[in-house]
């Protein structure tokens, strides 16, 4: 069989797209993850749009820390209002780490310390949940 460059490119693209979209590959890519670090911030000025933007901008600087395997930044979602749902926070950060050691590296990282120093005046309360992923 003779295969053209275009065919090769298409097959690679197809293979690539297939891999990029399959849940199996996401699992493979995250196979080493075993720690989730989820932080919720309540602003001193609850609901303040400028303060929220400042905090979100500060959190984005954490993307420079390579120990973080995945970082998602968010705000309360528009899901159903139920008694068990706490939607009172203003901003949240969700991180995945490969290990407790990597999490410690992040905590001590100059970029993290700079973030806390430049943004801590914005928040009234912080709650952190650290979760060890149970396999299976």
Judged by the rule CB under 8 A, the positions of this chain that interact with a second copy are 1-5, 7-8, 11-12, 15-16, 19-23, 25-26, 28-30, 35-38, 40, 56, 60, 69-70, 72-80, 82, 84-87, 89, 92, 94, 100, 103-104, 107, 126-134, 136
**Nearer residue to a second copy within complex by CB, 77 or 121:** 77
Task: For the CB of residue 129, give the shortest distance to a second copy in the complex, in Å.
Answer: 6
The whole-angstrom distance between residue 14's C-alpha and the CA centroid of its chain comes to 28
CA–CA gap between residue 133 and residue 96 (Å, rounded):
10
Exposure string of 92-123, with b = 16+ CB inside 10 Å and e = fewer, is: bbebbbbeeebbebbeebeebeebeeebeebb
Task: For the CB of residue 98, give the shortest distance to a second copy in the complex, in Å.
Answer: 12
CA–CA gap between residue 6 and residue 10 (Å, rounded):
6
Task: For the CB of residue 102, give the shortest distance to a second copy in the complex, in Å.
Answer: 11
């Amino acid at each position: 069989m003779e295969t053209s460059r275009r065919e090769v490119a298409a097959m690679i693209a197809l293979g690539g797209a297939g891999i990029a979209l399959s849940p199996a590959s996401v699992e493979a890519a995250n196979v080493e993850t075993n720690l989730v670090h989820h932080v919720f911030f309540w602003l001193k000025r609850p609901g303040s749009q400028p303060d929220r933007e400042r905090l979100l901008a500060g959190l984005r600087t954490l993307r420079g820390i390579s120990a973080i395997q995945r970082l998602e930044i968010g705000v309360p979602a528009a899901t159903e209002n139920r008694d068990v749902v706490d939607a009172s926070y203003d901003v949240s950060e969700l991180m995945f780490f490969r290990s407790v050691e990597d999490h410690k590296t992040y905590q001590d990282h100059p970029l993290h310390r700079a973030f806390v120093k430049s943004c801590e005046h914005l928040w009234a309360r912080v709650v952190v949940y650290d979760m060890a992923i149970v396999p299976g």
